[in-house]
Structure 1
Amino acid sequence: MDDTTRNSPDTSGTLDEALERLHSFGPERNGWLSNHAPMAVEALVHHGQAPGVHRWLDHYRAKLEEMPDRFTEVTPDNWREALGDPRRIADWTAYFERETADRPWREVLAEWWPRLLPGIAAGATHPVIRVGHCVRTLLASGENAPRIAELAHGLGYWAARHQPLPPLTPRSPATGAAAALDAVERVPDQSGGIRERLGQLTGFPVWPPRPVTGAEHALTVTDADSARPRPATDPDLARARLEELVRAATHRYAAYAHGSPVMLVHAATAPNAVLRTLPALPRELWAPSLDAAWAASAAVTAAYAPARAADYPAAPEGLSPEEVFARAAAHGDDHTIKFTDTALDVGGPAALAAALRSIELNPPVL
């Protein structure tokens, strides 16, 4: 990934003010559409656009709904039955507020990350994306009350919308992330919403390659809640593969985004959220994180990618990453802002071309 576009920690206080404004609202609207504001404002601040954040929020305010009423308290004894119950969004948020008040946030994240990973498709992958934005700030700028509260909101949303994919059959192996995404089979019926489309999934190409040595046979990373053993791989290799996936999905967007300019951004932003979270996690969780990120990216690709690629213009020579993000900020669309944020993480002309494609295809809102 390109480190040249990474910015210094925010010292303006704008992000914390924005998060405090947002935490009285729920993570969804109209029954299931996600509230993108916490993610978009984090990206805006991260890329030096803090002065425009409150104006952006004033415009977005019409899309926000109050936090839903509490249903039944989530406890250490009943959390399994509450997992995936969207009626419990407020209950789950309150649960994680208590957990992060009593324990270090990294400890809470490490405990819940493997429990939540099998449901990474929750809320069209928005919960994991929200967690990834939050963790980036916690790691770069340190912890305080608004940022810890944001983590509780993100984890609570993920737990309430937890959605495992259907049983999947391994397809032919692919040698790289780009080839694997190219080999993903589209779902037959692309007329419904994401939940209907994900229900049609039957299998993905086998990726990444997993060489297992004799020593590794004795070591497995196990999801304690699903009892599905996963072969261990070198954590640094897992991270490298995840970077490859984010890069491939970002580049692919430029040619295929015309199929669904909004939804296809998640094929890149979801695995990038996982990548951003890795440094806060125990290294033994990096390999299963890669598995989940691949499943999320492949699922979105299968659900929304068009049958054929389209031509697209290259990024103009001399156009800087900062100029591209400024265009995304002026454009104002939340998905465009978040995808451009991921494209700048990837870096390079192909990623900038993909970001410009998102600005071109998604309707502006400012």
Structure 2
Amino acid sequence: MTDRPPPPGRGATGNPGNRYAAHAREACDDGWGSLDAEPPPLRTELLVDRSRTVISYNQSPDVPFDRSINPYRGCEHGCVYCFARPTHAWLGLSPGLDFESRLFHKPDAPAVLRGELAKPGYRCAAIALGINTDAYQPVERRLGLTRAIIEVLAEHGHPFTVVTKSALIERDLDLLGPLAARGLVQVAISVTTLDRHLARTLEPRAAAPERRLETLRRLAAAGVPVTALVAPVIPFLNDHELEAILAAAHAAGARDAGYALVRLPLEVKELFRDWLALHAPLKAERVLNRLRDCRAGKDNDSRFGSRMRGEGEYADLIARRFALARRRLAFPGVAALDCSQFRVPGRAEQLDLFT
């Protein structure tokens, strides 16, 4: 753990090496006061992703989709608990501050997506947009990559879902409203806490809690079916807010709700432990011990089925509380997305030439 607080607006307390690194580095006082000087400002760096595909497929039995698109690698929101942080290690970077400040994007993603959807063997199923990292993180305001991808999906009549904690999604209501009327889009808004102070340190560059609820309200008013996600639930930090968050989301127009227990895979456990030591030192051990109670004594459990919810008395209590609150609030639910409208522009016209 670093002795200094994280740079303003950042979640991780430092930039530790990744699990593939051959060497570890540690700051050392050389006697010349080199550690006394303030570090230079941490600025966001934008890099190009050279991947040749844009749709990622999975066979995970505990998620409701088999394909997703992530316009960005890394996320400027800086949520310290983010389960996607370890993916930056694959790029030779740190899951700490690198994950929040060294972002990758794919400029040709819309063109690549159009090509993938046009492949003869492609079969339509809902695409989950922005699962690993938020598709509406701050850099999207400048690049517009997510909007361009949505335009391609709309052109093909392809259904999709979006998960975000950003108010920037309101920019695209002109697209999302008409698509929702056709049964082609659903949105999930993540509301982790209603406490502004906790949100500011836990998710430093994401929208404030009340702003997320306002975004939920505006999406619902535009006819977009919205689910509220209480994610992640963290013992002794926000678990007591579960019912209040669900009630606030329901009042704002959410049609359904979900939750997930915080996960600490790979490097995330050390980053989260350092964050607790800095921001919640008196609760740190209680939080970690309770999480281990839900993970068979381990910091993390990657097994399908239990990784999202945990096991044991505490996990069961959270599940019962959620189910009771959801039933009491009578969320109406969301309809299934429509895959029957999928078309490849130009394909029908080409086939007509042979009739």
Give TM-score, length-normalised by structure 1: 0.28
Structure with the larger helix share: 1
State the structure with more CA Rg.
2
Give TM-score, length-normalised by structure 2: 0.29
Structure with the larger strand share: 2
Tell which has more relative contact order, 1 or 2 (C-alpha 8 A, sep 6+).
Answer: 1
